[in-house]
Structure 1
Amino acid sequence: MLGRELGQSRGALVRAAPLAPAALAFGAGIWTARAVDPGLWTALLLFALSFCAAAFALAGGRAAPAAVLPVFFMLGLWTMAQGLERNLPADHIARFVGGDGGPFDTVTEGEVLAVEPRRRSTTRLYVEARRLYGDGVERAVSGTVLLNVRGDVGLRPGDTVRFAASLRRPANLANPGGFDYEWWLARRGVFVKAYAPSPLLVERLSEGGASLRRLAYSIRSRMAALIDAAGLENAGVVKALVTGLRHDVPDEVTRAMARSGAAHLLAISGLHVGLVAFFFHRVALFLLTRSQRLMLALNVRKAAALLAVGPVLLYCAASGFARPAQRAAVMAAALIGGYLLDRGHALYNAVALAALVILLVSPGALWDASFHLSFAAVIAIVYLLPRLKALIEDSGASSPSRRPLSRRLLGEGTALFLVSLAASAGTWPLTARHFNTVPLIGPLVNMAAVPLVGFAALPAGLAGAVAGLFSESLGAALLGAADLAVAAVVRLAGFASELPLAYLTVTTPTTVEIACFYGAVVCLVELRRAGWAPPLLAACVAVLAAFQAALYCANAADRELRVTFMSVGQGESALVEFPGGVRMVVDAGGGFGPGYDAGERIVAPFLWHRRISAVDYAVLSHPQADHGSGLPFIVRSFGVKRLLHGGGPLCCGLDEALAGTPAVVEPRGAWTGPLEINGVVLRFFNPPSPDPAGGDVNDRSLVMKLTYGRRSILFTGDISSDVERRLVAEAGPALRSDVLKAAHHGSGGSSSAAFIEAVSPGYAVVSAGRDNRFGFPHAETLRRFAAAGVEVLRTDRDGAVTVITDGERLEVRSCLTDRCL
């Protein structure tokens, strides 16, 4: 009975959206291509065979339309296979960069495809390479290079340039659950990157000719300059809304918008394009209906829809035809096209068509968060809104005793809330998956924020940026109006994000948990209408509860000590997971320059991936940014109970982060006794006293040994060989450990031969950034480890390194070699 009802519901959905199975099959083919990486010719052959088989079956009338689904699957497989690294052409520039990802000093010529201003006065260029000069050889090449330049280069799309820079293969930090930078670039067709520390290293050889891309960039740049010159309070946000350039949006605004559920307003998406289309459609409809002649001669509603296409294209041009804007425009075109063809009711079909077109043009979009969120929001609104309205009407929420005006206002407000609630319910699991945040207050905030942006800030900002090209005063007035609306949204988001339970920070949900959440939402709205809903709802809730119970029991029953040395660039951070579920974060520094928070962007995602929402201990080995810059975020976000450090002042804003928290700050060192945590003994050898006066801050690093049963791990911070000599003299055999965290990132001034002999480790872990300017780890240090027979693992090459022991057995894994990504 239950299976028959589910089958009928599925059949009704397929009849309402016959393109949906095709879109799903096409997407499945794209995903499969990434998973199995078929050869290009293999994929093309499979596509051709499936096409011929389907055509033969359909022509003979022996098969249902479903026979074409393998064709769409194979088409997706072939489309994605063309962009995979294995199938790059022989002259692709990636073929001439070292396979180990090391630098290759060259001079490269090519055509600028796109120019994107970034934070910290950096410009990102996408350059289609044409010629390569290196090793005394000139080569004709193809392929896109991502070139980051320090400063403004004054280039536009279409310009031919020559630049001198070291070419590199993109490389991930390689932490489980971390951002897959390599794949993010690969699905944009980029397999080589370069960095120029000065615009003087980039020479324009010739200007490009007229092109749509160049025109769009010029429009975008002029609009951005007008907004910058208008003296707006929220210029960065207005610029993000109008042009899609978000590099000037303050971090605190971005954070508040994300926590209040309004972050989608900062990125050009289907919502923005839809709002532009709706606003100008209403304006056009109003103007057209002023003329009786036009009303008699035209279908004014369809004419207004056509007229709205112009502002949509202008808006996309203002964003430089960025990929999200392109996707949004395709979705809008599908919906408008369906309306013009009197297929406006076939919304699922329009959404499926939009997905097919987007994935056909850009198959890598299948992995983009913006793609997931845009389609999830639209599908949720289309599916949930009528059902939520029906539930409200059935409950008698609209009272007939109310006056007509108040009833109308209540109805409009209710409809607005339901739209916001439907979109939030559709995207909550995905924001949890991609951003580990669930903005519970989002439906309420968006009731006000979306109208303010859609009917005030966005049209006024777009009109002001266009008008400013012709009249400075008119443009400034309109941009000022947009700024007022944006200010209201920013203040609302800031206020809402500070309310209790405004948002939840969650660990990364599994695919099964996401499916169960969506299943539960569907069951809730179908509860009164479908017999299958109650048992399926109970099953979804039971699976979610079982996942949480299994996680809790696994943590409580765990009897292993696990230490993971994370790959954080040029810095250090480690996660210690004690038996019984106690967690400790040792340092949280590193990253890629000032303003980069390694705690927020590297350490926290790894913790959430490990399903860790609370940290019991934090350790600051010594007060330097490459060890402590990310700890404030960890303290604020994970409820740290105790902070251990070597005495003296803290750094990196830790004092402010600790203020108002119950965390206890404990100086530790050689003068304190050992600390026991669930059978693991922590012994401290350095610093020698709590007095921080004088000396090198590195030499006051906390030296800490973890012993569990017969196995031990030694943390050394950034101590020098001077401290190592003293520790060998004072502690001697007590230093012996199975795993040594090499001091000072493998510096030649640390890890002396005498110290290595005293510790006698089987493994040494070096935490260093890829191609760092210090040359860590130094060659002499590596030779000393090799002479002592110590196996060295490096986070810059091996990714995260994990040590697991039950007190007897010792297992060491590295993320890249063990394929744990």
Structure 2
Amino acid sequence: MPGVSKWGIFCSITALLLCRLRVTRHGVFSSLFFFLAGLSWAMLQSQLQLSQQLTEPVQTSFRVELTDLPRVSSQKITFTASDIQTKHRYLLSYYQQHNEPMPVFIPGLIYHLEVRLKPPHGLANGTGFDRQKWLFRNRIHALGTIQSVQATEDRSHTPMAYINQWRMQLSTVIKQHFNDPEVNALLHALSIGDQSYFSAEDRKKYLNTGTAHLIAISGLHIGMVAMIGWFLASGLFLLKPVTFISKPTLQVCLGLIAAGVYASLAGLSISTQRALIMLAIWGWYRWRRRPGFVWDVLCSSLMAVLLIDPLNVLDAGFWLSFGAVAVLVLAFRGRPVKRSKWHQLVSMQWVLLVGMLPLSVVIFGNVKLLAPLINLIVVPVMGFVLIPLILMMLIMASVTQAVPEWLCWLTETTSDHIIGLLGSVNQWSWIHMDWTIGQPSQYLLLILGSLLLLLPQVMPQRYWGWLLLFLALLPTARDDLPVASFRVTQFDVGQGLSVLLETRQHRMLYDVGASHDSGFNMADAVLIPFLRKQQITHLDRLVLSHQDNDHAGSASHLISHITVSDVMGSHLRHTPCVKGANWDWDGVKFEVLSPENLYPYLGNNSSCVLRVSNAKHSLLLTGDIEEPVEYRLSQWSPALIRSDVMLVPHHGSKTSSSKAFLDAVNPSLAINSAGLYNAFNHPAETVRERYQQSNISWLDSQSSGRLVLQFGEQITVWEFIPENPRIWRTKKPG
């Protein structure tokens, strides 16, 4: 979707008004009216966000207040903040320098910051997490690196400031009473909605066991707490009935109050706001005793959520939460209750597995087969034991500033049992299966199969749904490349490099991108999701051009998930990547042109230079070589390095891409991999001009995202960003 123009909004509103004139006379126009009304509202909100986003990097200073709790790691502090003057929201990071003590950021205080701001951006590959979409949806106007910090004497008196101060105090209490890192992380997540204490391995464990939704305070948790308030009201009314308030009214009020307090503890995140809206509308129906079907409540909630914020449609949680409720309503509404509560709970998990199968495959790309069984055990324990214990602990900590030892012991014991169960299940390698859905016919079969299985048992032939699901989840045949052809995929891995090369029967990866101390790495974020989507479970070779983190940092993460037959590189335990090594796969020739030896290790200039060619065309992969190696290669044998397409050396650094080297290679196309707004200013403007003066076409991951080139009779090029326009990637004039 391209950018929303003011003229587009004007035309939509004009059509809306014209349509509104006919609503009262012709009911057929009513649907069109409301459709245009919703479309115009969404366009206005999108345009507002686009107009406020930063368009180019700037160095600036401003006064801010924190809008969430800071996330602290060993060398980094990250938080969202709001500009006191403009009210713009920023995602800011402070990096520790020279082992100096880290500053303490306290919600409620006003800080004067010197910041280097960058426009919102992220990786563009079509798989994995889309950070730019997340930033747009959460109305982040810029990303910033803090240069200097000065706390002022001013304080913020907004409700969120007081809520965040309360959350920080409770975080301190949790840290004081619970030393186990996993228990500490779980309690922080379930009490104040802070997931920053989970390690990367912890997150994988919850993902693998299908319980990741349980560590993010969302509709399920808010509903559980509302139920506690509901039962509390029933107990109070049973003990002392009163006449000035009805029992349903008291139940609704206490349920909403409990849910509201718990949502506040979670920082009033988007998912908790959505749950509160749904509960409030349901409570309104109950309070007014208004006759209405469950579908009325669901549709009213849906309309209210989208009216308040139409950008909710960009949340996977939006579709999952409303989808889950819709599936349960479809499956159980109107059916007589004849079986035990336990049987109903088991049926509910089964219905959710089948009914949410289409969304799960589309959003996550996999289905956890044991997730219903695990949730059947964990959800009741968490909802009726752990969360009440946590709430009791938090209430005591807020009122008396002390927590009894017995309560801490119960909370920790319950948490240990949940963590231990998930840890045991996570050791089973077959707990989840990955399916790839790529054809429209597969989506249709998946949806039809799920709907058939959700129909009442009296419906004949409903079990044909199993056959439809089986057919939908059958692996589709991949397009085989012709003999002597090869496909090159350059991933968008930010400031780094990773290139997949495929022949008819072989797969090779050249570099893997970076890995960071936080646990974030390009293998988990980009490469593994893409390879699984393409049904690639085995690599014949992994070539690590050299040992720099931005090229080889994610190697261990990749190898732990994807089978690799051979690793070639400059490390002692690798197959040496030196001049003279060559092999032939399916009529495609691979030749290593540099380095001549691995010792001494020369960093960038020890990069493995690889030429890939067929009878018609050739590609030169250059790693991070600099001018000394370029000179040696150009003088050694220009005929051997001449190529149609060349990877720009060293991300477009000024130390590479000499004129003599470009003349020797003489490519028609150069492709570059560099992070958008990177700290090194790659690619250098002088380098870009040098390629332009040599009449070499240029493509860059910064503007193209993932790049795919196919070498056959002709060279075809495909760019992800131009082929997949999205409003959050709209280019705006600076």
TM score, norm. by length of structure 2? 0.88
1:220 maps to which residue? 167
CA distance in 1, matches of 2:334, 2:634: 73
Deviation readout 1:696-745 (Å, 9 max, x if unpaired): 13333222111122101111222333333333444441111111112222
Equivalent residue for 2:376? 447
Q: Which amino acid aligns with 1:73?
A: F
1:191 counterpart = 2:141? yes
Residue 567 of structure 1 and its aligned partner are, at CA, apart by 1.7
SS at structure 2 position matched to 1:352: helix
Is it true that 1:684 corresponds to 2:592 in the alignment?
yes
Q: Which amino acid aligns with 1:607?
A: L
Cα distance change on mapping 1:514 and 1:592 into 2, 3 Å? farther
Matched, 1:366 2:290: no
Conserved? CA contact 1:176–1:609, under 8 Å:
no
Instruction: Please tell me the residue identity of whatever aligns with 2:33.
Output: V
Matches within 5 A, 1:585-734: 585-590=509-514, 594-608=518-532, 610=534, 612=536, 614-640=538-564, 642-649=565-572, 666-672=575-581, 674-689=582-597, 692-734=598-640
Q: Which residue of 1 aligns with 2:330?
A: 383
- SS state at 1:82 partner: helix
Q: Cα distance, 1:434 vs. partner?
A: 2.8
Equivalent residue letter for 1:439: K
Aligned residue number for residue 345 of structure 2: 416
Instruction: Give the distance between the partners of 2:68 and 2:295, measured in 1 at CA.
Output: 34
- Residues 270 and 374 of structure 1 are in contact (CA less than 8 Å); yes or no, is this contact kept in structure 2? yes
SS in 2 for 1:770: coil
Contact conserved, 1:37 with 1:84, CA < 8 A, in 2? Answer: no
**Residues 1:561 and 2:506 aligned together:** no
Give the C-alpha shift of residue 263 in structure 1: 0.7
Distance 1:413 1:572, change over 3 A: same
How many Å apart are 1:142 and its aligned residue? 6.4
Over 3 Å counting, the alpha-carbon distance change for 1:385 and 1:585 in structure 2 is: farther
SS class of match (1:605): helix
- Aligned to 2:33, the other structure's residue is in SS state helix
State the distance in 1 between where 2:699 and 2:213 align: 41
Given that 1:149 and 1:199 are in contact with CA atoms closer than 8 Å, whether structure 2 keeps it comes out as: no
SS of match in other structure, 2:122: coil
Q: In structure 1, what is the equivalent of residue 221 of structure 2? A: 272
The answer to whether structure 1 residue 796 and structure 2 residue 719 are counterparts is no
* Matched residue, 1:102: 56
TM-score, scaled to structure 1: 0.79
* SS of residue in 2 equivalent to 1:637: coil
Provide Cα deviations, 1:396-430, integer angstroms capped at 9, x if missing partner.
Answer: xx8xxxxxxxxxxxx44433222222223333433
Which stretch has the larger CA shift, 523-532 or 755-764? 523-532
Per the TM alignment, residue 633 of structure 1 is displaced from its structure 2 partner at its CA by 2.9
Q: 1:791 to 1:335 in 2, by over 3 A?
A: same
The structure-2 alpha-carbon separation of the partners of 1:224 and 1:594, relative to structure 1 and needing over 3 Å to count, comes to closer
Deviation of 1:787 after TM superposition, in Å, equals 4.1
Counterparts of 2:689 and 2:30, CA distance in 1: 61
Change (3 A) 1:118 1:414: farther
**SS of aligned partner of 2:592:** strand
Letter aligned with residue 570 of structure 1? Q
Q: Determine if contact 1:701/1:718 at 8 Å carries over to the other structure.
A: yes
Say which is worse superposed, 314-323 or 531-540, in terms of deviation: 531-540
SS in 1 for 2:657: coil
Residue segments in structure 2 that go unaligned for 5+ positions in a row: 96-101, 727-734
Aligned to 2:34, the other structure's residue is in SS state: helix
Query: What is residue 28 of structure 1 aligned with on the other side?
Result: none
Shift of 1:457: 1.3
Measured on the aligned residues, the alpha-carbon RMSD in Å equals 3.3
Per-residue deviation, 1:54: 1.7
Distance 1:197 1:513, change over 3 A: farther
1:27-42 matches, cutoff 5 A: 39-42=8-11
Deviation at 1:474, TM superposition (A): 2.9
Measured after TM superposition, the shift of residue 675 of structure 1 is: 1.6
Other-structure match for 1:812: 717
Q: Determine whether 1:495 maps to 2:444.
A: no
Q: Which residue of 2 aligns with 1:16?
A: none
Q: 1:242 & 1:779 partners in 2: Cα distance?
A: 50
Read off the aligned partner of 1:81 and give its amino acid letter: M
- Cα 1:482/1:377, change in 2 over 3 Å: farther
Which digits, 9 at most, give the CA deviation of each residue in 1:617-662, with x for residues without a partner? 322222232112223333232333x233134336xxxxxxxxxxxx
Whether the 8 Å contact between 1:111 and 1:128 is mirrored in structure 2 is yes
**CA separation of 1:33 and 1:708: change in aligned 2, threshold 3 A:** closer
Match of 1:147 among 92, 95, 98: 92
Q: Give the one of 205, 210, 218 matched to 1:261.
A: 210
Q: 1:299, 1:730 → 2: CA distance?
A: 92
Cα 1:541–1:359 shift into 2, 3 Å: same
The 10-residue stretch of structure 1 (412-421 or 443-452) with the greater mean CA deviation from structure 2: 412-421
Question: Match for 1:44 among 2, 13, 17?
Answer: 13
- Give the aligned partner of residue 130 of structure 2: 180
Helix, strand or coil: the match of 2:117? strand
How far apart are 1:109 and its partner, in Å?
Answer: 4.6
Which of 247, 255, 271 is 1:308 aligned to?
255
Q: Distance in 2 between matches of 1:624 and 1:389?
A: 64
* C-alpha contact 2:115 2:148 (8 A) present in aligned 1: no
> Judging changes above 3 Å, is the alpha-carbon distance between structure 1 residues 113 and 519 closer, same or farther for their aligned structure 2 residues?
same
Higher mean Cα deviation, 274-283 or 41-50?
41-50
Shift of residue 116, structure 1, vs aligned partner:
4.5
Aligned with 2:195 (options 235, 238, 246): 246
Contact 1:687-1:700 within 8 A present in 2 as well: yes
Conservation of the 8 A alpha-carbon contact between 1:437 and 1:503:
yes
1:80 to 42, 63, 88: 42
User: Cα distance 1:766–1:170, how it changes in 2: closer, same or farther (>3 A)?
Assistant: same
- State the alpha-carbon separation in 2 of the partners of residues 417 and 125 from structure 1: 41
Q: Give distance in 1, aligned partners of 2:459 and 2:4.
A: 37
1:575 and 2:500 correspond: yes
1:212-270 superposed Cα distances (whole Å, 9 cap, x missing partner)? 32332222222222112212421111110111110011222211111111111110111
Q: Give 3-state SS (helix, strand or coil) of 1:474's partner.
A: coil
1:346 to 265, 274, 293: 293
Distance in structure 2 (CA, Å) of the matches to 1:631 and 1:300: 61
Taking the aligned partners of 1:645 and 1:273, their CA distance within structure 2 comes to 51
Identify the residue that residue 529 of structure 1 maps to in structure 2: 458
Q: Output the CA distance in 2 between the equivalents of 1:624 and 1:110.
A: 37
| SS of alignment partner, residue 584 of structure 1 | strand
Runs of 5+ in structure 1 lacking a partner? 1-31, 58-62, 131-140, 399-410, 651-664
Identity of aligned residues (%): 23
